[in-house]
Chains A and B, each alone.
Chain A
Amino acid sequence: MNLDFAFLNWGVVSSFVLKGLVFSVQLTLIAMVGGILLGTALALMRLSGKPWLVTPAAAYVNTMRSIPLVMVILWFFLLIPLLTGKPLGAEVSAMITFTLFEAAYYSEIMRAGIQSVPKGQVHAAYAVGMSYSQTMQLIILPQAFRNMLPVLLTQTIILFQDTSLVYAIGAYDLLKGFEIAGKNFNRPVETYLIAAVVYFIICFSLSMLVRRLQNKIAIIR
Chain B
Amino acid sequence: MATWDWHVFCKETTTGDTVPSCFGSGGDITYLDWLLSAWGWTLSVAVLALIVALAVGSLMGILRTAPDKRLVFIGNAWTELFRNIPLLVQIFLWYHVLPSLIKPLQGFPSFILVVFALGFFTSARISEQVKAGIQALPKGQRCAGLAVGLTLPQTYRYVLLPMAFRIVIPPLTSESMNIIKNSSVAFAVSVAELTMFAMQAGEETSRNVEMYLAVTGLYFISAFTINRLALVIENRVRVPGMIGAR
Contact = CB atoms under 8 A, between A and B. Distances in A.
Interface of A: 1, 3, 66-71, 74-75, 78, 82, 157, 161-162, 164-165, 167-168, 175, 188-189, 192-193, 195-196, 199-200, 203-204, 207
20 contacts: A1-B100, A67-B220, A68-B180, A68-B181, A68-B184, A70-B185, A71-B212, A71-B216, A78-B208, A82-B1, A167-B88, A175-B88, A195-B89, A196-B92, A196-B93, A199-B86, A199-B89, A200-B81, A200-B84, A207-B84
Interface in B158-209: 180-185, 187-188, 195, 198-199, 202, 208-209
Contacts of B84: 157, 161, 199-200, 203-204, 207
B231 interface: no
B215 interface: yes
B134 to A, nearest CB: 20
A165 B208 CA distance: 19
A207 B124 CA distance: 14
Given A164-B88, A200-B81, A71 B97 contact: no
A67 B100 contact: no
Given A1-B101, A74-B198, A161 B209 contact: no
Interface of B: 1, 80-81, 83-90, 92-93, 96-97, 100-101, 180-185, 187-188, 195, 198-199, 202, 208-209, 212, 215-216, 219-220, 223-224
Nearest to B88: A164
A164 B89 contact: yes
A67 B183 CA distance: 12
Given A66-B181, A82-B1, A175-B88, 14 more contacts: A67-B220, A68-B182, A68-B195, A69-B181, A70-B187, A71-B198, A71-B212, A78-B208, A161-B86, A167-B88, A167-B188, A175-B86, A192-B92, A207-B84
Nearest to A182: B96
Nearest to B220: A66
A219 B2 CA distance: 55
A67 B218 CA distance: 10
A70 B184 contact: yes
Contacts of B187: 70, 168
Given A82-B1, A189-B100, A193-B97, A70 B195 contact: yes
Contacts of B90: 196
Contact of A199 (B80, B85, B100): B85
B235 to A, nearest CB: 23
B84 to A, nearest CB: 4
Nearest to A208: B80
A196 B184 contact: no
Contacts of A70: 184-185, 187, 195
B219 A66 contact: yes
A131 to B, nearest CB: 37
A164 B92 CA distance: 12
A3 to B, nearest CB: 8
Contact of B195 (A71, A189, A193, A200): A71
Nearest to A206: B84
A165 B1 contact: no
Contact of B185 (A67, A165, A175): A165
Contact of B93 (A1, A69, A82, A193): A193
Contacts of A195: 89, 92
Nearest to A83: B1
Contacts of B89: 164, 175, 192, 195-196, 199
A188 B96 contact: yes
Contacts of A188: 96
Contacts of A189: 96-97, 100-101
A70 B185 CA distance: 7
Given A74-B212, A192-B92, A192-B96, A68 B219 contact: yes
Contacts of A204: 80, 84
Contacts of A165: 86, 88, 185
B216 A67 contact: yes
Given A66-B220, A192-B96, A196-B93, A78 B86 contact: no
A99 to B, nearest CB: 19
Residue in A70, A175, A196, A203 whose Cβ sees the most chain B Cβ within 10 Å? A70
Contacts of B101: 1, 3, 189
